[in-house]
A = this chain, B = another copy of it.
Amino acid sequence: MSKANPLVQNIVPLAVDPQIEALVRDIISKVADKWTMLILEALEEHGTLRFTQLGRTVGGISQKMLTQTVRQMEEDGLVQRTVHPVIPPHVDYTLTSLGQSLGEAFCGVWIWAEEHRDEIEEARRVFAAATRKG
Contact = CB atoms under 8 A, between A and B. Distances in A.
Interface of A: 1-4, 7-9, 11-16, 20, 23-25, 27-29, 31-34, 37-38, 41-42, 44-48, 52-53, 56-57, 59, 74-77, 98, 101-114, 116-117, 119-124, 126-128
Question: Could you tell me the dominant secondary structure of chain A's interface residues?
Answer: helix
A80 to B, nearest CB: 10
Given A98-B120, A119-B98, A120-B76, A46 B109 contact: no
* 8 shortest interchain CB distances as A-B pairs: A32-B32, A77-B123, A4-B47, A105-B112, A108-B108, A24-B113, A75-B127, A27-B113
A32 B41 contact: no
What is the oligomeric copy number?
A: 2
B2 A45 contact: yes
Contacts of A23: 113, 117, 120-121
Contacts of A107: 1, 108
A115 to B, nearest CB: 9
